[in-house]
Amino acid sequence: MTPAKTKSLDPSWLALVTIVLAVTAVRLFGLSLAQVDLGVDEAQYWLWAQDPAWGYYSKPPMVAWLIGAAQSVCGPSEACIRSPATLAWAGTSLFVGATAKQMFGPRVGTVAALAALLASGAIFSARIISTDAPLLLFWSAALLALVRLRDGGAMGWAVLLGAAIGLGLLSKYAMLYFSGGLVLAVVFDPATRQALVSRRGLVVLGIGLIVLMPNLVWNLGHGLATLRHTADNASGGGLTPGIVDPLAFAGSQVFIAGPVVFAGFLWAVWRGIRGQASADERLLFLFSVPIFLGLTVVATLTRAHANWAASGLIAAFILGAAVLVRAGRTGWLVAGFALALAFQALTLWGDVNADRWVVAGETPYAPVLGWEVFADTIADRAEVNGTVAVVAERRSEIAALAYYARDRAVTAKAWPPASGQPPQNHFQMARALTGRESGPVLAVSPCAGSDRFAASYGRVIDLGPVSTPVGPIRQRTVHLFLLDEPRMTLAAPAPCPAR
């Protein structure tokens, strides 16, 4: 009797998984040693996680859900809060590798996975908690599902594609770019059209809508807060045409992807322009080139942050790897990965020594240093003066107080929005000062001048300035005021006088 054959795991894939796990373990260890306080957005996301919901002021809910899940396992430390991003990048690299393997073979799959894992943008993003990490995880999962469906995959891949699109939209609305790529693929790629203009396409659409629907309902119940903020953010500060911004934006994409892999991507695009691209390559163009071109135009007309085009990098990793492997550019790839490992080592060293690092008389990590000391100092002053509410004018200070004073008997609040105006941030929506707080309020101000608060409070006591360290050479100085006898209507103080 012949023994049944067993399907063994591809040794190259096993080696790749081992590398991904090793890099991820090093990154998690680095997070545990890092001397970097939470940034304003990170602290705000943590605060969201304490109140699970289907949406929040400026972002969909996924980032808060991930923080909440991590906190339930390892607590509220900075390393634990940031760990979902590290793990998400491990998943992204494996999805990228699986997609590249399906399209171009195992060697390209390995190189593409390493390109995603060791890209400069991945190295930076894996050490902070943001919406980009889960977005790219679900984007890469969706791309794999699409490729498998296009190759005749079963209905399960349609389920994965719909779920990944929906979960991606719950991470960041930039997942809409993927939907745009799908439309282009249905129009220009016969294999995709055959796969999706069918019952499987209806399954994709239905599951995606089902996953997203609760967030849309939440927005309808909250004045379209997230959608409005996203639109305002995308519109920028008005039209300011120029050549410097698009050049800087294009340069940032080279850095984020890694110069060697991005050069391979541009090579693939050039081959496509010359009519030398395969059908698989043309499919990947639809999920990368329009994103880069469209956002370069946006950068030319107004502004575009470097990470706005991050989703286009998923296909770019695969295209760059495919071209370089096919051309036998092993030396280029080795040089690119060596450069990436050097940047990874520098980043780990920088995070561990963040509170001691000075470059050209400046503290590179200043925006994410000193917040714990700042919050403890303000909480001490609040308790000494018998206040339970602390109101600040800047979002960074409110976020720091909310997180780092979480175990103290004080509540961080924001000044309310102007009369008749919608909230301008999450704190104005969820933590606005009301005038009904018990006892006096401690106000944190970026400038001196008690008269700025006279319109809202009848009794204002100037407590003077307070300075706390920010790294080895800088100080963070604020001015404190004790506010009591609130008036009928509260209003944010006038802007500080120009210096």
**Count of other CB atoms within 10 angstroms of residue 401:** 27
pLDDT recorded at residue 222 = 86
pLDDT recorded at residue 263 = 97
pLDDT recorded at residue 4 = 45
What does residue 50 show for φ and ψ, rounded to 5 degrees?
Answer: -80, -10
Cβ–Cβ under 8 Å, residues 472 and 356: yes
- Nearest Cα to 433, choosing from 453, 419, 412, 452? 412
Sort 458 into a burial class: Cβ within 10 Å, 0-12 / 13-18 / 19+: exposed
pLDDT recorded at residue 104 = 97
At 395, is the secondary structure helix, strand, or coil? Answer: helix
pLDDT recorded at residue 151 = 96
pLDDT recorded at residue 8 = 56
Cβ–Cβ under 8 Å, residues 116 and 317: yes
Sort 339 into a burial class: Cβ within 10 Å, 0-12 / 13-18 / 19+: middle
Q: Where exactly are the structural domains of the chain?
A: 11-352, 367-486
Q: Tell me which residues of the chain have a pLDDT lower than 50.
A: 1-6
The vertex-114 CA angle with 318 and 192, nearest 5°, equals 25
Does the CA dihedral 147-148-150-151 come out positive or negative?
positive
pLDDT recorded at residue 7 = 54
Query: In the chain, count of helices (H) and strands (E)?
Result: 21, 5
**Which residues have a Cβ under 8 Å from the Cβ of 199 and sit 6 or more positions away?**
none
